[in-house]
Chains A and B, each alone.
Chain A
Amino acid sequence: MNELEKLQSLLRDTPAPNADAKAAALRAATENFARFQEQGAQARPIPEAPAKGSLWKGLADMFNRSTLRPALYASTCLVIAGVAYTSYQPWSETLPELQDAGRATQLAAAPEESLQKPPQAPPTLAPKPAPQKQAAAQSAAAPLAHSQESDSIAPHQKQKTYSALGAMAGLDAPSGDTITHPLQGNADQFTGASENPLKITAQDPVSTFSIDVDTASYAYVRASLLNGGPLNPDAIRIEEMINYFTYDYPAPSDPDQPFSTQISVTKTPWNPETQLVQIGIQGMKPAIENRPPLNLVFLIDTSGSMQSANKLPLLTQSFALMLGELRPTDQVAIVTYAGSAGTALPPTNASETATILGALDRLNASGSTAGQAGLRQAYALADQMTQDGDISRVLLATDGDFNVGINNPDQMKSFIESQRDSGTYLSVLGFGRGNYRDDIMQSLAQNGNGTAAYIDTLAEAQKVLVDQLSGALFPIANDVKIQVEFNPAEVAEYRLIGYETRTLNREDFNNDTVDAGEIGAGHQVTALYEITPVGSPAILNDPLRYTEQAASNSNDELGYFKLRYKKPGAAASQLVTTPIRTNGDLPDAGFAAAIAGFGQVLKHAAYIKNWSYDDAITLATANKGPDPFGYRAEAIRLMKLAKIRD
């Protein structure tokens, strides 16, 4: 045996690690992991009952400490009595200390708006203990075995209870424990669309697209950044990120026009040689006092995949928040679908809150997902509820995992198109992560005269369902299409930022049968073009030798903006036109540009060059403005988070 072999054989004979030490290390590591996760993602204002099982375990640990003196022992007994009491109470009735601790977390994370109106649900809305107990039991019983089969997926949920208890008892209690939900590799699905290419004005001067007032992408991106999880570039739709924010656009002055249009031209932050054309559309806000009665059909996915705390429980709370905003003349019905579809609540006047809340409370998640049957039933019910002058809307709440019946986005599209003509609108509310089918959600919303939003927290539910209730529910213009013709004498190249999934053919603009996006009351739509002026060093394409050069009839017009819309119920569209000139500067142009830049950096887009998160942070901070609800401040926080992460 040579020396090397001898050394090898002796080295291999390493003593086995001490089992106790190993167990202690694993315990310490797991505890620390939970604590770290808690620091990392505090923005989850979902009030929850404490997890019984893990509390007992923590308390048992406290007892097992050999240094426990009798006095300490006695005081711990008191705490145990306290825990035995609190763990069975709904969150709204727990000890004030606990509730305050919970609210403090919520406020730290939520935009300021919730400071003024904390999303406080009435006591009856307390999350049902059943699904949570189940979830806790599941994770305790088989922490990993699940991962493969179970489709109930959620990011970890935090419990803030220990610190409060520790403070009460004056004990150094084990800090934050975690309920874990089984989570499999992220299977969220998105419609992939490559970035809009740079167009040469001389060859292709016309750009046509449908407006998009969805905000789902921003909320999804936010949830991904806050959780530190992987972020699929296809999940980033820049127009939805831009449109998440409200900008300081003047309200329409002409009462016949449902919206006003502003166009500004500024320097592009990421390229000094190009310009940014910002098109801002502001929808009118009709007098809300005389609004027509609403018929709302809540179409709720109660399949097994909706079980986790950030899905069905968050959903019922979100809808309950919204009920407070409805009028007695409005009607509500609930259709649920899982393995089969069923009516959980027949059409009921919104004034009968107890009945509606009771029905919401009884919802239970199980089974597979027959989305199509549910949609059919919801539309039928909406049809039955509609009287003259009413506005009917189906609010579909789901994680998009349709696995029974139609489950292909294209088929879903043709189905929803056949329902669209009934005049019923559709709002798609996305919940949860892990197997979120963004592609199906988009397909539904875009083809069903609807909007899509992604709800990750109660604060987001408040924004989407309560603050923007009017916009979300009252359409003021249908099939809004935008066509911009650029002037080749002024603009050499251009590209549309975002709207990749919304592009239309040039001829579709004048074809009233082609569907496009809707604008609700008070909605805003912002679109950005990056244009390269003629003669700029930033032109990327060389001129062609054998093609006629553009006519040089320069008249200071960069292009011509055309917009078509239909008034609700009308079949024929109306045309609005305005030239794009180099003058005009929207007060809020900087922030939209910062968000567009941020989205492109996040997406590793091609045209953004060396622009960085730092540049986006600087630009956004400089253009934050009054920011009454704190949304912009939150965006800047996300930029900082993204910078650390990349």
Chain B
Amino acid sequence: METSDENLVNLAQSGDAAAFSALISRHYDLMHRIGYRILGSQTEAQDMTQDLCIALGAKIASFRGDAKFTTWLYRVAINAARDRLRKRTTRQKAQENWGAYEVNSRAADAENRAQLDWLQQAMQTLPDDLRETVALVLGEDMTHAAAAEALNIPQGTVSWRMSEVKKHLRAQAQSEELIK
């Protein structure tokens, strides 16, 4: 049986390096996914995740167990991504980024490329708060309640944001129609 996150956190908080390593390696992908979906670039997601992994060595002490560990980790990862976005804004690169999207091998064919363009367009035009919400609700398949907990906002706000996202996508679809 796998040791629970909560057990590992307890051990890590009392100084067990092995438990800490296990915890980080178990959740590396989660942090990376969040980073990628909010930042839109795999290199950036990688850097962010590495910084976050390092910071967690100190940060883990502040986890008090009043939420699930993963909920807490989502929150921490979103904050890290947010910080990164903010820094990028100061470097005047805000809009370019969901553009530096790594093209996977599977993206070779034209259809895939079109889809990626669409994804890029969609994510890039979303305001930051909507993008974070999308990363959790659609990307992680979280319920509105769970996403609300991770984002530390009321559940109603999550639902409202998702309806905003829908409007956004519809607007995008309409403008595509016009171009065609």
A residues with a Cβ closer than 8 A to B are 3-4, 6-8, 10-12, 14-18, 21-22, 24-26, 28-30, 32-37, 40-41, 139, 143-144, 147-148, 155-156, 178, 180, 182-186, 227-230
Contacts and interface: CB of A to CB of B under 8 A. Distances in A.
A15 B16 contact: no
Contact of B11 (A16, A25, A40, A183): A183
B87 to A, nearest CB: 19
B17 A26 contact: no
17 contacts: A4-B165, A4-B166, A8-B139, A11-B139, A14-B37, A15-B104, A17-B49, A18-B42, A25-B50, A26-B21, A29-B50, A29-B54, A36-B57, A37-B15, A144-B3, A156-B17, A183-B14
Contacts of B139: 8, 11-12, 14
B62 to A, nearest CB: 10
B53 A183 contact: no
Interface residues of B, number: 53
Contacts of A11: 37, 119, 134-135, 138-139
Contact of A26 (B46, B53, B104, B134): B53
Contact of B138 (A4, A40, A147): A4
A546 B64 CA distance: 50
Nearest to B122: A7
Q: List 3 A-B pairs, minimum CB-CB distance, nearest first.
A: A143-B18, A3-B169, A29-B53
A32 B12 CA distance: 13
A578 to B, nearest CB: 47
B22 interface: yes
A183 B16 contact: yes
A127 B13 CA distance: 28
B83 interface: no
Interface string B7-33: 100111111111111101100110011
A18 B45 CA distance: 10
A37 B61 CA distance: 10
Most buried by A among B18, B21, B25, B50: B18
Interface string B49-77: 11001101110010000000000000000
Given A3-B166, A12-B139, A30 B20 contact: yes
B118 interface: yes
Contacts of B42: 15, 17-18
A156 B54 contact: no
A144 B14 CA distance: 14
B86 interface: no
B32 A17 contact: yes
Interface of B: 3, 7, 10-22, 24-25, 28-29, 32-33, 36-37, 42, 45-46, 49-50, 53-54, 56-58, 61, 102, 104, 115-116, 118-119, 122, 134-135, 138-139, 141, 162, 165-166, 169-170, 172-173
A16 B162 CA distance: 26
B15 A29 contact: no
Contacts of B118: 6, 10
A106 B14 CA distance: 21
Nearest to A177: B17
A634 to B, nearest CB: 20
Given A3-B166, A17-B46, A29-B21, A229 B53 contact: no
A230 B37 contact: no
B169 A144 contact: no
Contacts of A16: 29
Contact of A24 (B16, B50, B166): B50
B53 A18 contact: no
Nearest to B46: A21
B14 A229 contact: yes
Contact of A18 (B46, B141, B170, B172): B46
A481 to B, nearest CB: 39
A447 to B, nearest CB: 31
B21 A30 contact: yes
A17 B102 CA distance: 12
B53 A17 contact: no
A11 B115 CA distance: 11
A35 to B, nearest CB: 8
Most buried by B among A15, A32, A34: A15
B119 A180 contact: no
Contacts of A139: 18
A585 B47 CA distance: 63
Contacts of B21: 26, 29-30, 33, 143
A11 B34 CA distance: 11
Given A3-B166, A183-B11, A32 B46 contact: no
A155 B19 contact: no
B46 A33 contact: no
Given A14-B36, A144-B22, A34 B17 contact: yes
B100 to A, nearest CB: 13
Given A3-B170, A7-B119, A7-B138, A25 B49 contact: yes
A41 B104 CA distance: 46
Contacts of B16: 156, 180, 182-183
Contacts of A36: 57-58
A14 B50 CA distance: 18
A8 B138 contact: yes
A147 B13 contact: no
A186 B135 CA distance: 36
A25 B36 contact: no
Given A14-B37, A15-B102, A21-B50, A4 B19 contact: no
A141 to B, nearest CB: 11
Contact of A29 (B7, B56, B170): B56
A538 to B, nearest CB: 34
Given A21-B50, A28-B53, A180 B32 contact: no
A135 B169 CA distance: 58
A523 B16 CA distance: 38
Contacts of A22: 25, 28, 32, 49
A28 to B, nearest CB: 5
A28 B36 contact: no
A6 B169 CA distance: 10
Contact of B17 (A4, A28, A33, A41): A33
Contact of B18 (A7, A32, A144, A186): A144
B53 A25 contact: yes
A156 B141 CA distance: 38
A227 B15 contact: yes
Contact of B50 (A4, A28, A143, A186): A28
B173 A3 contact: yes
Given A4-B162, A41-B15, A156-B16, 8 more contacts: A12-B138, A17-B29, A22-B28, A32-B54, A32-B58, A40-B15, A227-B14, A229-B15
Contacts of A186: 10, 14
A133 to B, nearest CB: 18
Given A12-B139, A17-B46, A180-B18, A32 B33 contact: no
A199 B21 CA distance: 52
Nearest to B35: A17
Contacts of B14: 155, 183, 186, 227-230
A183 B19 CA distance: 9
A41 B16 CA distance: 13
A179 to B, nearest CB: 9
Contacts of A144: 3, 18-19, 22
